[in-house]
Amino acid sequence: MLGSFASIVALALSTAEMTFFEHGFIPMVAFSFGSTVAFVLLWYLRLRSQSRHLRLIIDTVPVFIFAKDDKGRYLLANKMMAERMGTSSEEMNGTTDLDYGLPREEMEGYLAIDRAVLESGTTIEVPEYSLARKDGTLGWFKTIKVPYRQPGSNRQAILGVTLDITELKQAQLRVEESERRFKHLAHHDHLTDLPNRALFADRLEQALALARRESRRLALAFIDLDGFKEVNDSLGHETGDLLLKEAADRMRECIRASDGIGRIGGDEFVIFLRGVENAEVALSAVEKLRTAMERPIIIVDNKICISASIGVSIFPDHAEEERQLSRKADMAMYRAKAGGRNRVCLFDAAIDRF
């Protein structure tokens, strides 16, 4: 649409300023001198009227309109363009972007696009770009450049039409941000911002696939907070939520960036540890997490003490598929709770028989 508008303006500018000779008028000897002068005057006034009408149009439309020669010198600029440069349309004639503070490197980039338009004889759409607007705010713009024959000559020039698309771009960015946030919320726990069950399962599958290719072990731990229900019931859900957030933060601090963590239920969390050499290394890492959960938590002047019961299974020692590995870590976690809570339990065949 912007390209069509630019082409129409280029044609109108060329037509409105053609001399009467270009319109096929040739004074004939049979005309009296007075008649010839009168005809020329009437035609000139008609062209001037067309030119003024066209100037009114291009000064009214809410876009930047300009024409440049092959050296980058302005041949024409509408009112909006001139105001953008802090000058008038008349004063812009013959100037270049360098006169308005544009770095030479950027101007060379504009000239390269102009040469491409002239050499191809076709319309070129400049990719969206950002630029400081007159009020100092950052704006987004879209420009179309078309070939344009200078009036009264055969020299080629460039006609440009630039549209301020800032509001459209901002709306697009808002939509993209909303989509990003919606996608994030769909895959993360709203309270702790940890991956939810679905996202954690997906990341665990990827981690297991990598472990298979590299023939390495992976540890999976199911974590249940001991005493959380009592805190939640006695001190309220708000305190319970703060407790869960603090517990999640402590768990994050206990694992590496390459490991994974998620919240899969009210007070249930899961983690996986990549590249563990053996069960002893995995248990040592998980024990640090259990110890971190023992430290008292202060919430609104309340000193809260909880603990964690943790069940661990190892890939590929205990299972090679995500579902079986998760089932066995969960069974080990329940064995830890049944054994007195606040402990780490590694899955073994005896638990499976139980």
206 and 195 Cβ atoms separated by less than 8 Å: no
Residues 6+ apart with CB under 8 A from 90: none
Rg over CA atoms, the chain:
37
Structure token digits, residue 9: 């303006």
CA distance 244 to 266: 9
- Biggest distance spanned by C-alpha atoms of the chain: 122
Size (the chain), residues? 354
Active site residue 70: no
CA distance 60 to 287: 73
Consecutive H or E run containing 222: strand 217-226
CA distance 85 to 201: 57
CA distance 29 to 39: 14
Centre a 10 Å sphere on the Cβ of residue 329 and count the other Cβ atoms it contains: 27
Show the beta-strand stretches assigned E in 23-121.
64-68, 74-77
304 and 298 Cβ atoms separated by less than 8 Å: yes
Q: Which of 267, 301, 348, 352 is catalytic?
A: 267
**Residues identified as active-site:** 267
